Amino acid sequence: MKIRDIITPEDIVIQESADSKKQILQEMVRIVSAQNMPLDERLVTESLLERERLGSTGLGEGVAIPHARCAFPEQTDRSITGLLLKLNKPIDFEANDNQPVDIIFMLLASQHCGTEHLTRLAAISRFIRDENAAKQIRKATSTDQIWQTLCDRRLSSAA
């Protein structure tokens, strides 16, 4: 599975900064809801925060993959959606290595999607933990440049 099979160019956002993990998760849910599907933003954000209470999804080395199962609208045919956010100013995400996070790949799965979300989480993790992929995303100044990184066969073959 390739990362570009999980998200589209419209699912990539560059943001200057955020004040907190909660704020960035709320903002990411708002973006997904506005772009892809109308979600109950409060409930989805609470699902993400509940998952964070179980243990931070900050993997280390400036990367986090917050994820949760949640109710998707009945009118959608999607069972998973994602958003890749690059922060120009890293934030504390309570990562395992205590380093701030600047690359956040959120994955939302419907409550009925089975184990497909685990396959996608693994693909995202393999890709984003590639030193070159993270370096290219951090160097990018546009969403187009990040998309090109996601489409780079040398990098995306790791996923």
H/E segment holding residue 147: helix 143-151
If one counts every other C-beta atom within 10 angstroms of the C-beta of residue 138, the result is 16
Measured between alpha carbons, how far is 19 from 158 in angstroms, rounded to an integer?
33
DSSP state of 5: G
Pull the structure tokens for residue 34. 């506005």
Across the chain, where does the E strand assignment appear?
12-15, 58-60, 63-64, 67-70, 80-91, 101-110
Token output for 19: 């004040």
**Residue 67 falls in the annotated catalytic set:** yes
Q: Single out the catalytic residue among 67, 86, 117, 120.
A: 67
Task: List, by residue number, the catalytic residues.
Answer: 67
